[in-house]
Structure 1
Amino acid sequence: MSIPPPPSQPPAGGFGAPQDPPPGGFGAQVPPVPPAPPAPPQQPPAQPAAPQPPAAQPPADPRLPAYGYPQAGYGYPQQPGAPGQFSPPGAPGAPGMPVTVATPLAPAGPGGGGGGGDKRTQLMIVGAALLAIVLIVGGGIWYVSGDEGTTSTTATDGQGGKGDPKGKEPAAPGGTEKVPASTKSKTLINVPLPEPEEQVTVDGSWLTDSVYAKSDVGKIVGYNLVDGGKKWETALPAHVCGATKHITDDKSAVLFDEAMPSAEKKYPACTQVGVIDLNTGKLLWSATAKSPTGGDKPVTFSEVTISGQTVAAGGLGGGAAWNLADGKPLWTPKVDGQGCKDEGYAGGDALGVIRSCGSASEPTLYAQLLDPTTGAPKYSYKLSAGIPYAGIISTKPMVIAANVGNTAKNATNVSDLFVLDDAGQLKARIGLASGNFGPDCPANDVERCTGMVVGNGKVYLPSYEHQGTSAYGKTNELLSFDLETGKQTTDRADAGERYTLYPLRMDGSNVIVYKVPPYDKGGQIVSIDGKTMKETVLMENPAEKTSQRAETSFLVDHAEFRYHNGKLFLASKYARKPSSPGGDPRYLFVSFTAS
Structure 2
Amino acid sequence: MTQPPNQPPQGGFGAPQDQPPHGGGFGAPQSPPPPPAQPPQAPAQPPQAPAQPPQPQPGYGYPSQPGPYAQPGPYGQPAQPGPYAAQPGYGHPQQPQYPGQPQYPGAPGTPPAGPPASKGRTALIIGAAAAALLVIGGTVYAVTSDGGGGKKKPVAEKSDDGKQSSSGKPVDPGNGKGNGGADPENLNDGRKPGEAKVLWYKSAPDAPGSGADAPGMWITGTTAVKAAYKQVFAYDVGNGNASWDPIAFPQKICAVTPQKTADDKIVVAYMNGVSSRAKCNQLQQIDLDTGKKGWSGEVADGGLFDSAISIELTVSGKTLMVGRSESGTAYDIDSGRKLYDKEKYGSACFPAGFAGGSGRLVQVASCGAGGSNAHDELQELDPATGKVKWTQPVKKGWQVSRVYSLDPLVVYLTNQDKKAWNISTFTKAGKFRSEVKVDEKFAPRCDLSFLARDLQGCQGVAVDADTLYLPTNATTGANQIVAISLANGKAKWRVKSPADESMFPIRTEGGKLIAYVQPSYDTGGQIVSVPVTGGSHGTTKLLQNPSGSAEIENSFFQGAIDWAGGRFYISSTRLTGSDSSKEKLMMAFGK
Q: TM-score range by the shorter chain?
A: 0.5 to 0.7
The alignment covers a number of residue pairs equal to 446
Give, as a single letter, the amino acid of the residue that structure 1 aligns with 2:565. Answer: N
Q: Would you say the 8 A contact 2:462–2:469 is kept in 1?
A: yes
User: Is 1:554–2:551 an aligned residue pair?
Assistant: no
Q: Specify whether residues 277 and 182 from structure 1 end up closer, same or farther in structure 2 by C-alpha distance, changes over 3 A only.
A: farther
Q: Would you say the 8 A contact 1:514–1:526 is kept in 2?
A: yes
Identify the residue that residue 218 of structure 1 maps to in structure 2: 230
- Cα separation, 1, equivalents of 2:277 and 2:342: 27
Q: Specify whether residues 452 and 539 from structure 1 end up closer, same or farther in structure 2 by C-alpha distance, changes over 3 A only.
A: same
Per-residue deviation, residues 530-589 of structure 1 (Å, max 9, x unmatched): 113353322111112xx111101125xx221122113222212222422xx53x542122
The Cα shift of 1:520 comes to 2.8
- The structure showing larger relative contact order (alpha-carbon pairs under 8 Å, at least 6 residues apart) is 1
Give, as a single letter, the amino acid of the residue that structure 2 aligns with 1:394. Answer: S
Give, as a single letter, the amino acid of the residue that structure 2 aligns with 1:51. Answer: Q
User: Is 1:586–2:583 an aligned residue pair?
Assistant: yes
Q: Would you say the 8 A contact 1:301–1:318 is kept in 2?
A: no
The Cα shift of 1:311 comes to 1.1
Identify the residue that residue 477 of structure 1 maps to in structure 2: 480
The Cα shift of 1:459 comes to 0.5
The Cα shift of 1:101 comes to 8.5
- Cα separation, 2, equivalents of 1:398 and 1:317: 23
What is the aligned counterpart of 1:421 among 418, 427, 432?
427
Give, as a single letter, the amino acid of the residue that structure 1 aligns with 2:562. Answer: R
Give, as a single letter, the amino acid of the residue that structure 1 aligns with 2:278. Answer: P
Map 1:1-20 onto structure 2 (within 5 A): none
The Cα shift of 1:95 comes to 5.8
Q: Would you say the 8 A contact 2:342–2:386 is kept in 1?
A: yes
Once the two structures are overlaid, the 10-residue window that deviates more, 207-216 or 439-448, is 439-448
The Cα shift of 1:445 comes to 1.4
Q: Secondary structure at the match of 2:345?
A: coil
What is the aligned counterpart of 1:235 among 227, 233, 248?
248
Map 1:524-543 onto structure 2 (within 5 A): 524-533=526-535, 534=537, 535-543=539-547
- Cα separation, 1, equivalents of 2:414 and 2:256: 25
Map 1:373-412 onto structure 2 (within 5 A): 373-405=384-416
What is the aligned counterpart of 2:383 among 372, 377, 391?
372
Q: Would you say the 8 A contact 1:67–1:120 is kept in 2?
A: no
Map 1:204-215 onto structure 2 (within 5 A): 204-215=216-227
Identify the residue that residue 442 of structure 2 maps to in structure 1: 437
- Cα separation, 2, equivalents of 1:474 and 1:464: 10
Give, as a single letter, the amino acid of the residue that structure 1 aligns with 2:377. Answer: Y
Q: Secondary structure at the match of 2:365?
A: strand
Per-residue deviation, residues 314-371 of structure 1 (Å, max 9, x unmatched): 1424211111211111111021352212111111111111111111587411111110
User: Is 1:462–2:471 an aligned residue pair?
Assistant: yes
Q: Specify whether residues 523 and 360 from structure 1 end up closer, same or farther in structure 2 by C-alpha distance, changes over 3 A only.
A: farther
- Cα separation, 2, equivalents of 1:303 and 1:204: 13
- Cα separation, 2, equivalents of 1:69 and 1:368: 39
Q: Would you say the 8 A contact 1:397–1:420 is kept in 2?
A: yes
Q: Specify whether residues 51 and 317 from structure 1 end up closer, same or farther in structure 2 by C-alpha distance, changes over 3 A only.
A: same
Identify the residue that residue 139 of structure 1 maps to in structure 2: none
Gaps of 5+ in 1: 1-34, 60-65, 73-92, 123-180, 409-413, 467-472
Identify the residue that residue 96 of structure 1 maps to in structure 2: 76
- Cα separation, 1, equivalents of 2:332 and 2:461: 29
Identify the residue that residue 287 of structure 1 maps to in structure 2: 297
Identify the residue that residue 17 of structure 2 maps to in structure 1: none
The Cα shift of 1:591 comes to 2.4
The Cα shift of 1:501 comes to 0.2
Give, as a single letter, the amino acid of the residue that structure 2 aligns with 1:98. Answer: P
Per-residue deviation, residues 393-436 of structure 1 (Å, max 9, x unmatched): 1111111111134666xxxxx8211111122111112246x652
Q: Specify whether residues 102 and 428 from structure 1 end up closer, same or farther in structure 2 by C-alpha distance, changes over 3 A only.
A: farther
Per-residue deviation, residues 485-530 of structure 1 (Å, max 9, x unmatched): 12221x2221024121011222243222110133331101112221
Q: Would you say the 8 A contact 2:362–2:381 is kept in 1?
A: yes
Gaps of 5+ in 2: 1-28, 56-72, 96-104, 114-192
Identify the residue that residue 194 of structure 1 maps to in structure 2: 206
Once the two structures are overlaid, the 10-residue window that deviates more, 310-319 or 323-332, is 310-319
Q: Secondary structure at the match of 2:443?
A: coil
- Cα separation, 2, equivalents of 1:235 and 1:229: 18
Give, as a single letter, the amino acid of the residue that structure 1 aligns with 2:434. Answer: A
- Cα separation, 2, equivalents of 1:369 and 1:323: 18
Q: Would you say the 8 A contact 2:91–2:442 is kept in 1?
A: no
- Cα separation, 2, equivalents of 1:52 and 1:560: 19
Give, as a single letter, the amino acid of the residue that structure 1 aligns with 2:362. Answer: G
Q: Secondary structure at the match of 1:415?
A: strand
Q: Specify whether residues 316 and 105 from structure 1 end up closer, same or farther in structure 2 by C-alpha distance, changes over 3 A only.
A: same
Q: Specify whether residues 537 and 50 from structure 1 end up closer, same or farther in structure 2 by C-alpha distance, changes over 3 A only.
A: same
Q: With the length of structure 1 as denominator, give the TM-score of the two structures.
A: 0.67
